[in-house]
Amino acid sequence: MPETIIIGSDHAGFDLKERVKEWLEERGFQVEDVGSPSPEQVDYPDFAHLVADAVGSGRRARGVVICGTGIGVSIAANRHAGVRAAVVCGEDTARLAREHNDANVLALGGRTLDPVLAERILDVWLKTPFAGGRHARRVAKIEPDGAKSAAR
């Protein structure tokens, strides 16, 4: 069964969301699109929370959130336990977000990224595994109670 990626955007990320959705489907992924359903003005936290709820609860392993810069949606998504959303602006940061931080939500900027670059970022992010090792200890410390358990 193909992996399902959950995706959401505000109005500023709508066009890139539609392109990313098509790119994922062409590569055999299932896509759960939680909106926005159009480029009409909406509030980015509403869609970031829907994606983050699904990833944080374990219902989905990975998600993509998109707003004008990726910053707002990443801030909202990172309020959820178990979510590690990374704003990524290039292939190197996509690789490092996965390798070092085990980022499970990718945040993209619909107004700041060229769509072709966004597709390359997505490709790297999806293909890069978490390196584990010393990074696992650090990632464990991200959750509020993780620093105490990692220190034991």
Enzyme catalytic residues: 67, 100
Backbone angles phi, psi at 138, to 5 degrees: -70, -45
Residues in the chain: 152
CB 4 within 8 A of CB 60: yes
Q: In what order do the strands lie in the sheet with 63-67?
A: 30-33, 4-9, 63-67, 105-109, 85-87
User: DSSP per residue over 24-51, as a string?
Assistant: HHHTT-EEEE----SSS---HHHHHHHH
Q: Rounded to a whole number, what is the distance in angstroms from the first to the last CA of the chain? A: 39
The pairing of strands 85-87 and 4-9 is: unpaired
